[in-house]
Structure 1
């Protein structure tokens, strides 16, 4: 039609030239987008379930009170729990990563050891959250309700399934304070973009998850010290 009108046919072409993207593929898939959040969520809540159950058993059987009466302090009890549960959490983390990258062949552009370190910190955060739940409630049923009740908000609001940029502005503010939001973005940057610790998008995730570990551990120590019964 442009030729019949004595016009340059190039005027009808799309004025944008699509080149090869700098990061990622030209045809991205949802699996690579959701996989980092799914991996962190699995490790986090597996750690929550194990540690909260172990701590509650000790409380309900009176072992925790006997340790406190014997002169063992709250931080010492917490340290012993962290050391014993860490080996279980580490084995879970290794198994999840092997299944994710060997069997499902997820995209891995960055350093695998950064991914491992972030997953271990995430597991420690889940352990610490489990300790808080175990010290705050009295029965296994209540601990299960609290753990499962926290699962849905974290999955829905941490950018695991729905991008944070597409959320309502108030929700974007709330998600910044959730424990898995920044680590998910950090792991996504490592896996798909190959960024290292010198990038703010990566080290902010490590800072965020480390801060939550400290907060949960302090809360656990305070609950062990002041909560009676």
Structure 2
């Protein structure tokens, strides 16, 4: 079987990849460095407390029942200040999140709006303590009770959310750069012309290149999940095995992006730079490095046009959010659509020679 043109080409391409230390580094080692960095920094990170300055005497806080005061201290990192202006200056500078004072029966919170999410959490938490104090003052028990439960599995940690995005970026970078550099390198070295004259069909050449790229992507998937599980207690949930078809179709999509870059550029350096120009902004705008929930609406809509956003969403759904196989259907269709459209465009612009 190895004597067939497909296996001979596949083995040659794989050997070429393994011999190119830069390719191995940027395909596997470099992305893993980010996984280790994010995992080490964020892996055991807890929800930070709100930095609160208590200005003067605040009876509502000082006279909280023991259980309520314990909850208050768990939610807030409390410091005290007698000067209101000094406390407000600290809040404006970002050294504190909120300063509270009591004016008669009114609790006044002075907060910063620079972090709108934390500002909303701070106001809601303080309002809950005020409501609790009102109930305690009237002596009437509340008619309703409240409890909060997370919708995800209790075992989830930050590393669960970091891994799919970084894996998506690694696969996009490897597939796009590999396709761009290979196409332009073969063109400049006249290898494409020699292959055209050899008794090997174009379909065999393309199939061998695709097979090698998919094999590299599967190795990336296995290494990422293996390191995440071994070093950072990564636990897969839901239909995590659906990540395999997502990786396969996603690889084809980003390989098409690389082929387009290789078809447009005149040199190997130009092809790699163009692929980088396409992939790197996509990584930042698709949630690979940070979530997009707090970004402007127009930026979220722009990210919907990028295939890496749908790759990351599909991976999160099946690996983290506990969704079933059906959750991967839409991302797979979108990625496949991108692969077909961009692949056809690359084929249209393809030239056997650099000139």
Report the equivalent of 2:310. 182
Deviations 1:105-130 (A, max 9, x none): 32311123211221222222222222
Asked if 1:206 is matched to 2:335, the reply is no
CA distance in 2, matches of 1:4, 1:55: 74
Asked which structure has the greater CA Rg, the reply is 2
More strand by share: 2
Deviations 1:13-44 (A, max 9, x none): 9x662243232449x64433232111111122
Matches within 5 A, 1:144-183: 144-183=272-311
Of residues 39, 44, 47, the one that matches 2:172 is 44
Runs of at least 5 residues in structure 1 that lack an aligned partner in the other structure: none
Over 3 Å counting, the alpha-carbon distance change for 1:105 and 1:124 in structure 2 is farther
TM-fit CA distance, 1:60: 0.4
**TM-score, normalisation: structure 1:** 0.80
Deviations 1:84-104 (A, max 9, x none): 433333333332332233433
In the alignment of these two chains, the number of paired residues is 223
Say which structure, 1 or 2, has more relative contact order (CA 8 Å, 6+ apart).
1
Report the equivalent of 1:223. 349
Of residues 141, 151, 160, the one that matches 1:10 is 141
CA distance in 2, matches of 1:24, 1:181: 23
Report the equivalent of 1:56. 184
SS in 2 for 1:195: coil
More helix by share: 1
> Would you say the 8 A contact 1:75–1:221 is kept in 2?
no
Which 10-residue stretch deviates more, 97-106 or 207-216?
97-106
SS in 2 for 1:22: coil
> Would you say the 8 A contact 2:239–2:318 is kept in 1?
yes
> Would you say the 8 A contact 2:246–2:311 is kept in 1?
yes
CA distance in 2, matches of 1:100, 1:25: 18
CA distance in 2, matches of 1:4, 1:146: 65
Matches within 5 A, 1:83-94: 83-94=211-222
Over 3 Å counting, the alpha-carbon distance change for 1:75 and 1:227 in structure 2 is farther
CA distance in 1, matches of 2:136, 2:271: 76
> Would you say the 8 A contact 1:2–1:9 is kept in 2?
no
Report the equivalent of 2:152. 23
Report the equivalent of 2:241. 113
SS in 1 for 2:326: coil
CA distance in 2, matches of 1:113, 1:73: 34
